[in-house]
Amino acid sequence: MLRCSRRCRWYLLVALSAYLTEQPPPRAANLAPPREGSTVVIDGVSRAYPASAGPAAGVFGVYGTLAAGSFVTVSGPSGSGKSTLLNLVAALDHPTSGRLVVDGRDIAAAPERDRAQYRLRLVGCLFQDAPLVGELSVANNVMLPGLLARSDRRQVRRRAGELLERVGLDKQSDRFPAQLSVGQRQRAALARALMNRPRLLLADEPTGNLDRATGRQVMELLAGAQQEGCTVVVVTHDPEIAAAGDQNLRLLDGRLVA
Ligand SMILES: Nc1ncnc2c1ncn2[C@@H]1O[C@H](COP(=O)(O)OP(=O)(O)OP(=O)(O)O)[C@@H](O)[C@H]1O
Ligand SMILES: [Mg+2]
């Protein structure tokens, strides 16, 4: 039985749903070459959580276009709906109304099989507490999305090595997550998020638990992903990071105010 942190649930959902809904795969397919970022159109999206008392919570009537290859920041007070919005774009949750059009296709209305493939092949996710699988080495954690996507094992291993070097963890590749610092775990989670060369990289407060210097490192790595063409979306409470994006979405009580 895998020990699992709260956010680990996300990774297991991605892995299991991709595995269970996989169509007969082209075995040992090559890893996709670098590709362009996705364009995301948020078209009147709402996600209302039922409230037993008081006003409903969630996000309400959000419109916006995240341009391909841009660096988008999402800010707002605690409870304003930032994670809710990110989970919708990641297809981890369904909107109660509205459309989420990614590269011309409404992923909110897509069948679960397609949503699972979208999560596995097109999206990379990074959360504040870096949910690595505790029983796997750092290298195997990074390789996991490539293996789930049935890419060629040698290429997956090679890319994991390159990514671990890029995030400065090549010497820690045989360690287990519990043997890493918080910042190292976050960098390993970023390497894993980049394994399948996502078009869309979604990061929910990726620097929230890090000291300033390590936080800056992670932000530089995210900027590197953008330079490779990825559309990067970062939820942040840090006004400096929020201001540095090509576009800042500001939420208040579940509504977009900027
Ligand atoms: N599963 C859920 N069931 C009911 N209400 C929820 C659920 N998830 C979130 N909410 C509510 O929706 C609102 C938005 O939550 P969300 O997690 O998106 O906020 P946030 O902006 O990410 O906050 P933070 O900065 O603290 O992470 C909050 O009022 C929260 O209580
Ligand atoms: Mg949040």
Atom number in ligand 1 closest to CA 84: 18
Confidence category of residue 1, pLDDT binned at 50, 70, 90: very low
Query: What average pLDDT is seen over the chain?
Result: 88
Per-residue confidence at 33, pLDDT binned at 50, 70, 90?
Answer: low
pLDDT of 42 over the 90 cut: yes
Cα separation, 134 vs 128, whole angstroms? 16
Ligand 1 neighbour 52 (Cβ under 6 A): no
**pTM here?**
0.88
Kindly compute the dihedral angle of the four CA atoms of residues 28, 30, 35, 41, in this order, to the nearest 10 degrees: -20
3-class state of residue 175 by DSSP? coil
- pLDDT at position 27, please? 42
Nearest CA to ligand 1 atom 28: 79
**Residue 129 pLDDT:** 83
Please give the torsion angle defined by the CA atoms of residues 7, 95, 190 and 234, in that order, rounded to the nearest 10 degrees. Answer: -110
pLDDT at 159 over 90: yes
Rounded distance from Cα 79 to ligand 1 centre (Å): 5
**Distance from Cα 253 to the centre of ligand 1, integer Å:** 10
Is the CB of 58 within 6 Å of ligand 1? yes
Instruction: Please give the pLDDT value at position 47.
Output: 97
Nearest residue (by CA) to ligand 1, atom 27, is 78
The pLDDT value given to residue 2:
47
First to last CA, the chain: 45
User: How far apart (Å, rounded) are the C-alpha atoms in residues 118 and 240?
Assistant: 31
Q: Look at 17-26, 73-82, 145-154, 216-225 and tell me which has the smallest mean pLDDT.
A: 17-26
49 C-alpha to ligand 1 centroid (Å): 9
- 84 within ligand 1 shell (Cβ under 6 A): yes
List, as ranges, residues with CB under 5 A of the ion ligand 2: 83
- The string of pLDDT tens digits covering residues 63-90 is 999 999 999 999 999 999 999 999 999 9
- The amino acid that residue 81 corresponds to is G
pLDDT of residue 55: 77
Please state whether beta strands 231-235 and 247-252 pair in parallel, antiparallel, or not at all (unpaired): unpaired
Residue 13 has pLDDT above 60, yes or no: no
Q: Going by CA atoms, what residue is nearest to atom 20 of ligand 1? A: 79
Question: Who has greater pLDDT, 230 or 2?
Answer: 230
Q: How many CB atoms lie within 10 A of CB 170?
A: 15
- List beta partners, residue 242: none
Per-residue pLDDT tens digits for 103-135: 999 999 999 999 999 999 999 999 988 789 999
Element of type H or E holding 123: strand 123-127
Asked if the model's pLDDT at residue 218 lies above 60, the reply is yes
What was the pLDDT predicted at 22?
47
Q: Are 246 and 70 in contact (CB under 8 A)?
A: yes
Token digits of residue 245: 């994006």
Q: Is 83 in the pocket of ligand 1 (CB under 6 A)?
A: yes
Rounded to whole angstroms, the Cα distance separating 123 from 137 reads 22
Among 24-33, 78-87, 99-108, 236-245, the range scoring the smallest mean pLDDT is 24-33
pLDDT, tens digit, for every residue of 179-204?
999 999 999 999 999 999 999 999 99
